[in-house]
C-alpha cells in the first residue's frame, strides 16, 4: 500500500468508527495522496475503480457503495498470497467470473492458482529505494518475519533454532518478541520486536547477512527490502525466491545444512558478503523499482476504467 498510494491518483481509504480491520484508514501514516472516507459517506462518493484484496470485500464494497464491483463500478482484485490450502489445485475465489481482473504479485502465484476464466496479470513488487545502507559490522544474521510463532512452519520460523545454533539470528517484525519466551526461545535467536521502517532498515543493515526462511508465502517484501539495502541473502528455495535471488547475490537452497554453511561463510568472509550484497541491490534496483510498479498500475487502472 505504501508503494501503491505513491502514484498520481486520488486514493480513498474506508474508515470505520472503530478503525477496525475493515476500515483502518491511514493508520497514522503520512500518505499525502490518500483521503480517509467514513463508511457512511462512501455511497455518495465519486469512485472510478475499486481495489479489492480479500474475497469478503466484494460484498463489503457493494454494501458500502450501493454499487456492484465489476458491474456498476470497475474493480481489480489483488491476490497477495500463494495458493492455499493446496499448492496446485486451489481454485481462486474469483475464478468463475470474467469482469474483475486478478492481479498476482508473482508469476509463481499466477501459475499455481487455478484462476478459471478470470483475466489475470502479474505486477511484481515495487518499492521506493531505501538506499545502500549495508555495513555488515555486526556478525549476525538478520531476518524480518511478522507473527513467526502463529505462522510457524509457513514462514519457516521452526528453522531459526537450528540455524541459530550456527550463527546468531536477530529477528524483527510483529510478534517476534514471542520468540524470546518459553517454549519458543532458542539459543542464538533474538526477537527484536516491531520497529518503524526507517529504524528497521538501519538496524537490519548492520547485520552481516539476511536470512529468508519462508516455505510458502508470496515473495516477501522484507526480502526485497534487504536486497535494496545491499545485503547478501541466504534463503529457503521455495515459491518465487529461486528466481529473484541470483547466484551472485547469495545462496538459495532447500538443504538446511547448506543454508547453515552459507551463513557461517558470510560471517567469516566479509568481502564476499559485501560483493554479494552489491549484486543483490543491483538486481533489486533493476526488477523491483517503484517507477515500473506505478506505471504498470497506471495501465491497469486506465484499462479497467475505459
3-class secondary structure per residue, 126-150: CECCCCCCCCCCEEEEEEECCCHHH
Using alpha carbons only, how large is the chain's radius of gyration in Å? 20
Q: Cell numbers at residue 269, please?
A: 568472509
pLDDT computed for residue 29 by the predictor: 87
Q: Are 292 and 253 in contact (CB under 8 A)?
A: no
Question: 150-179 burial by CB neighbour count: b if 16+ within 10 A, else e?
Answer: ebeebbbbebbbebbebbbbbbbbebbebb
Q: Which residues contact 145 (CB under 8 A, 6 or more apart)?
A: 151, 155, 156, 157, 171, 172, 173, 176, 213, 214, 222
Q: Which of 99, 64, 94 is nearest to 79 (CA)?
A: 94
Q: Edge to edge, what strands does the sheet with 120-122 contain?
A: 50-52, 75-79, 102-104, 120-122
CATH superfamily for 138-287 is: Glycogen Phosphorylase B; (3.40.50.2000)
Name the 3-class secondary structure at 210.
Answer: strand
Q: Tell me how far apart the alpha carbons of residues 72 and 186 are, in angstroms, rounded to a whole number.
A: 54
pLDDT computed for residue 183 by the predictor: 87
Per-residue pLDDT of the chain (306 residues; tens, 9 = 90+): 999 999 999 999 999 999 888 899 998 888 999 999 999 999 999 999 999 999 999 999 999 999 999 999 999 999 999 999 999 999 999 999 999 999 999 999 999 999 999 999 999 999 999 999 999 999 999 999 999 999 999 999 999 999 999 999 999 999 999 999 988 899 999 999 999 888 999 999 999 999 999 999 999 899 999 999 999 999 999 999 999 999 999 999 999 999 999 999 999 999 999 999 999 999 999 999 999 999 999 999 999 999
Q: Are 257 and 203 in contact (CB under 8 A)?
A: no
Domain ranges of the chain: 4-126+289-305, 138-287
Question: 1-39 burial by CB neighbour count: b if 16+ within 10 A, else e?
Answer: bebbbbbebebbbbbeeeeeeebbbbeeeebeebebbee
Length, in residues, of the chain = 306
Q: Are 106 and 239 in contact (CB under 8 A)?
A: yes
Cα distances (angstroms) measured from residue 185 to each of 31, 181, 203, 236: 38, 5, 22, 22
Q: What single-letter DSSP state applies at residue 23?
A: -
Q: Which of 194, 213, 215, 217 is nearest to 147 (CA)?
A: 194
pLDDT computed for residue 19 by the predictor: 87
Amino acid at each position: 500500500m505504501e508503494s501503491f498510494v505513491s502514484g498520481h491518483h486520488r486514493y480513498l481509504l474506508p474508515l470505520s468508527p472503530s478503525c477496525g480491520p475493515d476500515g483502518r484508514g491511514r493508520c497514522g501514516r503520512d500518505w499525502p495522496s490518500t483521503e480517509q472516507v467514513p463508511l457512511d459517506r462512501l455511497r455518495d462518493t465519486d469512485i472510478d475503480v475499486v481495489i479489492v484484496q480479500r474475497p469478503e470485500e466484494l460484498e463489503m464494497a457493494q454494501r458500502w457503495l450501493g454499487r456492484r464491483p465489476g458491474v456498476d463500478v470497475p474493480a481489480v482484485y489483488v491476490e497477495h498470497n500463494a495458493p492455499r490450502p493446496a499448492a496446485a489445485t486451489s481454485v481462486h475465489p474469483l475464478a468463475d467470473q470474467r469482469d474483475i481482473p486478478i492481479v498476482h504479485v508473482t508469476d509463481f502465484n499466477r501459475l499455481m492458482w487455478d484462476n478459471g476464466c478470470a483475466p489475470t496479470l502479474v505486477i511484481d513488487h515495487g518499492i521506493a529505494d531505501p538506499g545502500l545502507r549495508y555495513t555488515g559490522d555486526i556478525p549476525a544474521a538478520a531476518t524480518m518475519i511478522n507473527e513467526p510463532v502463529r505462522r510457524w512452519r509457513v514462514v519457516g520460523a521452526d528453522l531459526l533454532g537450528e540455524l541459530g545454533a550456527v550463527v546468531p539470528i536477530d529477528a524483527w517484525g510483529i510478534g517476534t518478541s514471542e520468540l524470546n519466551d518459553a517454549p519458543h526461545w532458542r539459543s542464538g535467536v533474538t526477537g527484536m520486536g516491531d520497529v518503524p521502517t526507517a529504524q528497521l532498515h538501519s538496524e537490519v543493515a548492520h547485520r552481516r547477512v539476511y536470512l529468508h526462511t519462508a516455505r510458502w508465502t508470496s515473495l516477501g517484501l522484507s526480502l526485497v527490502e534487504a536486497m535494496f539495502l545491499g545485503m547478501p541473502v541466504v534463503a529457503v528455495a521455495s515459491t518465487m525466491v529461486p528466481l529473484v535471488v541470483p547466484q551472485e547475490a547469495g545462496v538459495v537452497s532447500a538443504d538446511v545444512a547448506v543454508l547453515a554453511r552459507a551463513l557461517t561463510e558470510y560471517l567469516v568472509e566479509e568481502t564476499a558478503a559485501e560483493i554479494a550484497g552489491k549484486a543483490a541491490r543491483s538486481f533489486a534496483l533493476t526488477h523491483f523499482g517503484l517507477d515500473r510498479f506505478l506505471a504498470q498500475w497506471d495501465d491497469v487502472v486506465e484499462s479497467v476504467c475505459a
